[in-house]
Amino acid sequence: MRSLPRRPLNVLAGVCLAVLSGAAPAAAQFAYRPAGELVTGSGSGRVDERVYAPGIRYPIQDAPSFLNSQVWGVGGNSGPSGSQCAARNFSYPWHDNFCESRSWDMPLCPSGTGHQGQDIRASSCMPNVHPALAVADGTITNVGSYSVYLTTADGTRFDYLHMGRVAVAVGDTVRRGELMGYVSNEFGGTATTVHLHFNIRQSVSGVGSVFVPPYMSLVRAYEALVAPPVAPTPRFRGEFVRQSFPLASASFEMTPGQILSGSIDLRNTGTETWRPGQTFLGTTQPRDRASVLAGPGWPNDHRAASVAGDVPPGMVGSFVFTVRAPGTPGEYRQFFSLVEDGVTWFGDDGGPPDDQLQIRVTVVPGAQASDAGSETMPLDAGDAPPDPDASTDRSLSAAGCGCRAAGGRAAFGGLGVTLGALALLVTRRRRASRGSHARARTP
Ligand SMILES: [Zn+2]
């Protein structure tokens, strides 16, 4: 079952890996070290998973982008010798450097001092080519020789340092995603490395207006930037689990007009609870008039059964009902789908109407069917001869696997429906693509 309530997040041996399949190749292996873990020797970090600025846009336009220290990275003052353009500086995992050793007053850092914000590299060390964007709607409240402040309506201040080609002026109002400038190395005359230094300043209860850890806010913003869209779990969705109707076999025979009882169980894979009298197994071909297989006890001509009891998300519900075999020789097929009365029809595959649960009945001309009469001649369920082969296990096996072969209905031909027999089978088909949206049909 593919369920996508959250993006995948694997925590392995202390390394947080956000697996982002489908993203740009360079972003496919996005990984980040935990918040508060600084490069060894660079200070004592603040372990703080809080997202201080939820919902912000990532401050650099494009992925990949890399959070790590300018000072402790390759080519930095305290880092390994080499070029600031070394590939190692442009690779995952990310590293927090909010509390990296500096002399700035930093009440939230263990030492009381720190770096104020986070160093961010774009996809390359080329200056003035990678756009830096507004992370939120706000007003430009400062443009200095190498710093730009963006202040939002709630008082949060976002600081962009070292940009080139600054595109905003004090007093400008900007919208989230709007161009602020370009990632560069401006430092008031003396160049620094090419990166964006990014601060978040907020009022923290009991502390006052301080620089807060931006790391997890940036992680979340980056995930939103590079992750494929995640479809929300639909409110109504079901997944076939098992059924108890006997399947076709050489030894299984029924009298035309006979009535069979059984059940189909489905798991609720949506987000809404199924309730008796509201959630039904409905007939979809047609659903506006009586089903040829409708048996005693159906709520109406196109509702085979109500769910037997409340079925919260994740649980399995039973739909217990009867079918009455038509008396006229021929092949009968009834498709089913779930229906939330007055809301929606739904299944688990998002496919066309025939791509669902179905019961197929074949009545071949034979002695028993010669004058079976109309469909209105009811027979007792007790008239059915026992079927030694109609075990639940076989039903599960055939329904779960045998009918999923390519070609769909053609697969039924191999199940050995015999002359003179009424063969009934319940099965389902799945499409290769397991779409997850409820059908948009009107109940
Ligand atoms: Zn910095």
Ligand 1 center to 72 CA (angstroms): 11
Measuring CA to CA, which residue among 88, 86, 89, 70 is closest to residue 78?
70
E-assigned strand segments in 81-133: 104-105, 113-114, 118-121, 131-133
Higher pLDDT, 308 or 411: 308
Phi/psi for 217 (5° steps) reads -65, -40
- Residue 289, pLDDT score: 67
Ligand 1 center to 100 CA (angstroms): 9
Ligand 1 center to 176 CA (angstroms): 23
**Rounded CA separation 77/13 (Å):** 30
pLDDT above 70 (res 12): no
**Rounded CA separation 263/26 (Å):** 50
Tens-digit pLDDT profile for residues 273-306? 999 999 999 887 665 667 888 889 999 888 999 9
What amino acid occupies position 268? N
Ligand 1 center to 220 CA (angstroms): 20
Ligand 1 center to 396 CA (angstroms): 61
Over range 32-38, report the average pLDDT: 96
Cβ atoms of residues 84 and 73 within 8 Å: yes
Ligand 1 center to 353 CA (angstroms): 58
Ligand 1 center to 185 CA (angstroms): 11
For residue 415, the surrounding DSSP H or E stretch is none
The neighbouring-strand residues paired with 330 are 363
Ligand 1 center to 121 CA (angstroms): 11
**CA distances (Å), origin 58, targets 117, 200, 220, 393, 442:** 15, 13, 8, 53, 41
Ligand 1 center to 157 CA (angstroms): 16
Ligand 1 center to 341 CA (angstroms): 58
Tens-digit pLDDT profile for residues 370-411? 333 333 222 222 233 333 333 322 222 222 222 222 222 222
Ligand 1 center to 50 CA (angstroms): 20
Ligand 1 center to 344 CA (angstroms): 53
307: alpha, beta or left, given left = phi > 0 and alpha = psi -120 to 50?
Answer: beta
Q: Which two tokens stand for residue 311?
A: 């079925």
- Residue 424, pLDDT score: 44
372: alpha, beta or left, given left = phi > 0 and alpha = psi -120 to 50?
Answer: alpha
**Rounded CA separation 104/148 (Å):** 18
Ligand 1 center to 162 CA (angstroms): 9
Ligand 1 center to 207 CA (angstroms): 23
Burial class (CB in 10 A: 0-12, 13-18, 19+), 10: exposed
What length does the chain have?
443
Ligand 1 center to 146 CA (angstroms): 12
Higher pLDDT, 148 or 364: 148
Ligand 1 center to 98 CA (angstroms): 8
Ligand 1 center to 17 CA (angstroms): 24
Share of the chain above pLDDT 90, in %: 54
Instruction: Tell me which architecture the domain covering 10-226 has in CATH.
Output: Distorted Sandwich (2.70)
Locate the domains of the chain by residue range.
Answer: 10-226, 238-427
**Rounded CA separation 258/255 (Å):** 5
- Greatest distance between any 2 Cα atoms in the chain: 102
Ligand 1 center to 228 CA (angstroms): 30
Ligand 1 center to 154 CA (angstroms): 25
Residue 33 half-sphere exposure toward CB, CA atoms < 13 A: 19
Cβ atoms of residues 58 and 221 within 8 Å: yes
CATH code linked to domain 238-427? 2.60.40.10
Cβ atoms of residues 350 and 437 within 8 Å: yes
Ligand 1 center to 192 CA (angstroms): 10
**CA distances (Å), origin 404, targets 127, 261, 430, 432:** 56, 24, 6, 10
Ligand 1 center to 69 CA (angstroms): 7
Ligand 1 center to 41 CA (angstroms): 16
Q: How confident is the model at residue 227 (pLDDT cuts 50, 70, 90)?
A: confident
SS3 assignment for 327-348: CCCEEEEEEEEEEECCCEEECC
54-87 in b/e form (b: 16+ CB < 10 A) is eebbbbbbbbbbbbbbbbbbbbbeebeeeebebe
Ligand 1 center to 30 CA (angstroms): 21
The neighbouring-strand residues paired with 254 are none
Q: How confident is the model at residue 256 (pLDDT cuts 50, 70, 90)?
A: confident
Ligand 1 center to 118 CA (angstroms): 6
pLDDT above 90 (res 15): no
Over range 356-370, report the average pLDDT: 61
Phi/psi for 147 (5° steps) reads -140, 145
Ligand 1 center to 208 CA (angstroms): 22
Ligand 1 center to 430 CA (angstroms): 53
Measuring CA to CA, which residue among 222, 213, 223 is closest to residue 96?
213
Q: Mean pLDDT for the chain?
A: 76
Ligand 1 center to 59 CA (angstroms): 15
Ligand 1 center to 441 CA (angstroms): 55
User: To 5 degrees, how large is the angle CA 378–CA 381–CA 385?
Assistant: 120
Ligand 1 center to 94 CA (angstroms): 14
Burial class (CB in 10 A: 0-12, 13-18, 19+), 261: middle
Over range 298-322, report the average pLDDT: 93
Tens-digit pLDDT profile for residues 165-195? 999 999 999 999 999 999 999 999 889 999 9
Q: Which two tokens stand for residue 38?
A: 């600084």
Over range 317-341, report the average pLDDT: 86
Ligand 1 center to 7 CA (angstroms): 30
Ligand 1 center to 340 CA (angstroms): 55
Ligand 1 center to 152 CA (angstroms): 22
Ligand 1 center to 106 CA (angstroms): 14
Measuring CA to CA, which residue among 47, 23, 44, 25 is closest to residue 35?
47
